């Protein structure tokens, strides 16, 4: 299973209506995190679970869902997390 597939599987717990994951690892070749095998990713996710939460709380939900992937497979993650009623 690819890291993106593993991320999608983990993030399914947040019941996303939209999820887009972009692997930016190639842009960071030679970076210390890339040497250890961790990738750089951009995540855009829309979930009703984010309603009423501030940005930091939403990010915490994402990090918690990704759990152990954040220790090895993911070195850097840029997150855009919105509720369905947000533009």
Residue 11 falls inside a structural domain: yes
Number of domains in the chain: 1
**Domain extent for 35:** 3-82
Residue 25 falls inside a structural domain: yes
3-state secondary structure of 35: helix
The size of the chain, in residues, is 87
Rounded (10°) angle between helices 3-11 and 55-66: 120
DSSP state string for 46-86: E-GGGTT--HHHHHHHHHHHHGGGGTTTEEEEEEEEE-TT-
Global pTM value:
0.89
| 59: exposed, middle or buried (Cβ count in 10 Å: 0-12, 13-18, 19+) | middle
CATH number of the domain at 39, please.
Answer: 3.30.300.90
Residue 26 falls inside a structural domain: yes
Residue 70 falls inside a structural domain: yes
Q: What is the pLDDT of residues 45-69, one digit of tens each?
A: 999 999 999 999 999 999 999 998 9
Q: Residue 14's Cα: distance from chain center in Å? A: 11
Residue 40 falls inside a structural domain: yes
Q: What is the pLDDT of residues 5-51, one digit of tens each?
A: 999 999 999 999 999 999 998 776 665 545 566 889 999 999 999 99
Residue 87 falls inside a structural domain: no
């Amino acid at each position: 299973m690819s890291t993106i597939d593993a991320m999608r599987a983990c993030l399914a717990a947040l019941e996303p209506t939209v999820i887009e994951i972009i692997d930016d690892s190639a842009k960071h070749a030679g970076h210390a995190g890339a040497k250890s095998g961790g990738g750089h990713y951009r995540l855009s996710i829309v979930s009703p679970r984010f309603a009423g939460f501030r940005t930091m709380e939403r990010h915490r939900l994402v990090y918690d869902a990704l759990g152990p992937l954040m220790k090895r497979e993911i070195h850097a993650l840029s997150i855009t997390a919105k509720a369905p009623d947000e533009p």
